[in-house]
Copies of this chain bind each other. A is one copy, B any other.
Amino acid sequence: MPEDKSEFLKGTLDMLILKIVALGPIHGYAISQRIQQISRDFFQVQQGSLYPALHRLENRGLLGAEWRATETGREAKFYSLTKKGRKQLDAEMASWERISDAVALILRTAE
């Protein structure tokens, strides 16, 4: 019986990525670092989750991509939020609020 080591709420990754990108253009590798850092090492985004997610979001027109050079001189794919992505982020954040409220409602039900 395997314990769940890596905790991640399915369905929230896209939102978290959009939110990070909303802070400014950033490349994939840095996104995962940023998420991990801001969440105080709680979330660890696996690359096998990250890159497919980025491609999904790009294909859906929520992210724009552009190859540019990093501060350290490397080539990297920088993502930025499109207008559509902005809307989607807002919607998902509102949705998250409603959902987590509803969950809290149930969890705090005592008979």
- Measured in the bound complex, the distance between the Cα atoms of B10 and A29 in whole Å is 26
Tell me how far the C-beta of A64 lies from the nearest C-beta in chain B, rounded to whole angstroms.
18
State the interface size on chain A (CB cutoff 8 A): 33
Encode A13-46 as 1/0 by CB contact (under 8 A) with B. Answer: 0011001100110000000000100111011000
Contacts of A106 in B (CB 8 A): 16, 19-20, 35, 38-39, 43
| A103 near B96: Cβ-Cβ < 8 Å | yes
Q: Among B38, B95, B98, B102, point to the contact of A109 (Cβ < 8 A).
A: B38
A interface with B by C-beta (< 8 Å): 4, 7-12, 15-16, 19-20, 23-24, 35, 38-40, 42-43, 93, 95-96, 98-100, 102-103, 105-107, 109-111
